[in-house]
Structure 1
């Protein structure tokens, strides 16, 4: 990036610190990818500082290379390595100290995290700060923005401000010191996270959260900074679902997925062969599906018991479930896999593995009903809820009424929500949504998609961009007046 020639409108320069950025497939990637691209389209020079790809290859062992093609070519990406010996899962790559004294190594790392780093990614901060200073010398930075987690990213932009005076914005995708599932503090009182959250909030120009419950909690916790806080909700990316068509498409992912030693999941055809032969003669089954990461926090035991009851009652003779996504955040989680009815062909539940972002439209097109399974928390809004609504297809809501997703999905025209998470209520909801799927008209689908347009991603980002531009403008105005 080079400065604009004389006479041209000034292009503000923002540096975004986003640990998870393409090719990472972590859920927070889409938020920062969308923001970087949106700012570039709105006339900003954008530099993203992120981690080197070996972290995703060696530590998380999960990535989506197709996401690299989605980065706007006007966005400059700077990759900073993370010293990650303390995170290394492969025994052969352990350093001498960790390999010979693993318990002492664990204690040292824990003490550093509690007292200094604020999280296990703290060793990344010095390299990030050095890179930000290099970028700033090359082309002065007007504003930085850090997204958490990891929240050590906040330390980097805070230090950048101390060194250069460049203001910063903080974006909280979840919560640093609040346990989203218990409502209690996530760390003991002497943990560095509390000190750093208070310190970085105090010096920030703006702090954004993904939903109102999180905003309200932080306003109560930090009333002196409440005026800086705003909601920037997640949303759906128009290009990701714009090519959806009704009906059943080909499977978007190879079903022969490695499930860490477990039997390979049944394909849709194999499952049909094991099921009631009458199904094959009655036309295509109703395909219900989940698209996204399945986690241990979701109520799987209740959901799949409800599914079993509806099938055993004979009320779902022509319905199957297709699961597209990762089982757990990193690798394959046995805690998730073992709670799914994947190896009982009579249940007609098939896991197809992960789907690259470039193929996500095909996954949605293959489904008639989308299943929204959400962990019980008033602070959790699943990012997938916005994408689900954008399809204009029936959505089955399986979550508690106080869940944050209920506020977003509550008025969706094609929603069927279980009366409770009792398995009998879930079974009834499965039956109801399958019946709805067979009667949906083109007009109803269009109405549902029209409702979803308010959640299109750029509509959520526009207010944030305006606030960011105001920060830059207010700081440049005195210099222009002086000149």
Structure 2
């Protein structure tokens, strides 16, 4: 059988450090492991170095068989070098930003990313001309990546859209962001109508789209994020131990007077940091936690390379009560970070459509997890049934303090049987297992003659 060729289109790919990069890295790798030739179309390294920050350790995780093609990306609105500013931008910045936003959306309705459509489509067509593609898988966000898939569809190449989240739905508020008549709505209607499959990270987001696009609902699937054994110190997919649960991580030192709580992930202003710190302070004051308990907050503060100053100030006020900001953790070191924590804290923005990729890594550790998020969050359905999980009843200091206290108790009372059960529970959420059903189907799509694809 001829080896099928996948074109994988993703703006954020190593060394990008954004949350979606882990899904992109793992998805392309899994296709390569499953016998596909994979070409990744992504932005240049300098894009991430200049604007978002990088995690160089991620590049070593790219399957060596994958061909990475980088397309230059310019982001004028994020340019912090004032020496390059025009007179208009320097003297009338609000006027300049309105003008820039209008210019960005001339060819594609996505602020900041729209101008990338033309170079992206040209690159996709060049690849198609020199090495014909059997399937395109475009992942968002940004959603301009979908334009490359649409361009090759015109040449007879089927495509899959990996939304991850949503383009026309605010996953935090549940508000519809664009009507079918809007430019975004018209683009989405066209893209979904043509797609072979459409993927979402959780059932609530999938169901919302299935209701909005009922005639295409049968092509919509949940492909959860999952966790990656090779990045957490377990067995790499593809080995003879592939079916085993993640290798047990080192449990905390067991010092009952110095329990270590930890949060690892990108923090945005949607994360209830202030409430978490208030709850932490109250838990210590009540005696729900030992006086020397510590809370480590690790990861990026905001989406860009420079930490969000408001969030830094929020964390700083917790310093006297054992709260620390420990900065970003390279992906190759996350297993070590988790091994030094006794209880994991999952703090998320509110919204029934919110899952988070970190919840799956948390599961893989086999350690107690304290949820500090809206009970309606899609993360709740992932955690429900985990033997070492407890959740706050509401996002206020008193409820959070109580949940933190229960988390500490779990860390002290959990026995080997419970920890083994926690790791076994996590095994079903391995990322390769989330992808496997879709890869089986798409292999058939790629090897079907184009005239019979429909």
If the length of structure 2 is used for normalisation, what is the TM-score? 0.91
Give the C-alpha shift of residue 218 in structure 1: 0.5
**Quick check: 2:354–2:378 contact (8 Å CA) kept in 1?**
yes
Paired position in structure 2 for 1:34: 26
**Quick check: 2:107–2:117 contact (8 Å CA) kept in 1?**
no
Give the C-alpha shift of residue 148 in structure 1: 0.8
- What is the CA–CA distance in structure 2 between the aligned matches of 1:103 and 1:425, rounded to whole Å? 42
- Residue 383 of structure 1 is aligned with which of 341, 345, 357? 357
Give the C-alpha shift of residue 289 in structure 1: 0.5
**Quick check: 2:180–2:189 contact (8 Å CA) kept in 1?**
no
Give the C-alpha shift of residue 467 in structure 1: 2.5
Partner secondary structure for residue 339 of structure 1: helix
Partner secondary structure for residue 355 of structure 1: coil
Report whether the alignment pairs 1:153 with 2:145.
yes
Paired position in structure 2 for 1:367: 341
Q: Which runs of 5+ in 1 are unaligned?
A: 1-8, 250-281
Q: Would the alpha carbon gap of residues 407 and 474 (structure 1) be closer, same or farther in structure 2, given more than 3 Å must change?
A: same
Q: Would the alpha carbon gap of residues 466 and 410 (structure 1) be closer, same or farther in structure 2, given more than 3 Å must change?
A: same
- Between stretches 240-249 and 410-419, larger displacement belongs to 240-249
Paired position in structure 2 for 1:324: 298
Paired position in structure 2 for 1:126: 118
- Between stretches 240-249 and 23-32, larger displacement belongs to 240-249
Paired position in structure 1 for 2:443: 469
- What is the CA–CA distance in structure 1 between the aligned matches of 2:422 and 2:178, rounded to whole Å? 42
How big is each residue's C-alpha offset from its partner over 1:140-163, in whole Å with a ceiling of 9 and x where there is no partner? 10111111100011112112222x
- Residue 219 of structure 2 is aligned with which of 228, 253, 276? 228
Paired position in structure 2 for 1:394: 368
Q: Would the alpha carbon gap of residues 105 and 344 (structure 1) be closer, same or farther in structure 2, given more than 3 Å must change?
A: closer
Q: Which runs of 5+ in 2 are unaligned?
A: 235-247
- Residue 74 of structure 2 is aligned with which of 83, 93, 106? 83
Give the C-alpha shift of residue 104 in structure 1: 4.7
RMSD across aligned C-alpha pairs, in angstroms? Answer: 2.1
Q: Would the alpha carbon gap of residues 189 and 344 (structure 1) be closer, same or farther in structure 2, given more than 3 Å must change?
A: same
Q: Would the alpha carbon gap of residues 408 and 283 (structure 1) be closer, same or farther in structure 2, given more than 3 Å must change?
A: closer
- Residue 451 of structure 1 is aligned with which of 425, 429, 433? 425
If the length of structure 1 is used for normalisation, what is the TM-score? 0.86
How big is each residue's C-alpha offset from its partner over 1:234-255, in whole Å with a ceiling of 9 and x where there is no partner? 1000122235632458xxxxxx
Q: Would the alpha carbon gap of residues 344 and 426 (structure 1) be closer, same or farther in structure 2, given more than 3 Å must change?
A: closer
Partner secondary structure for residue 438 of structure 1: helix
- Residue 338 of structure 1 is aligned with which of 313, 336, 348? 313
Q: Would the alpha carbon gap of residues 296 and 107 (structure 1) be closer, same or farther in structure 2, given more than 3 Å must change?
A: closer
Paired position in structure 1 for 2:170: 179
Structure of larger gyration radius: 1
Report whether the alignment pairs 1:245 with 2:249.
yes
Report whether the alignment pairs 1:213 with 2:238.
no
**Quick check: 1:85–1:94 contact (8 Å CA) kept in 2?**
no
Q: Would the alpha carbon gap of residues 395 and 344 (structure 1) be closer, same or farther in structure 2, given more than 3 Å must change?
A: closer
Give the C-alpha shift of residue 17 in structure 1: 0.6
- What is the CA–CA distance in structure 2 between the aligned matches of 1:138 and 1:97, rounded to whole Å? 43
Partner secondary structure for residue 59 of structure 2: helix
How many residues align structurally?
436
Report whether the alignment pairs 1:407 with 2:405.
no
Partner secondary structure for residue 76 of structure 2: coil
Q: Would the alpha carbon gap of residues 310 and 101 (structure 1) be closer, same or farther in structure 2, given more than 3 Å must change?
A: closer
Alignment of 1:85-104 (within 5 A): 85-94=76-85, 98=89, 102-104=93-95
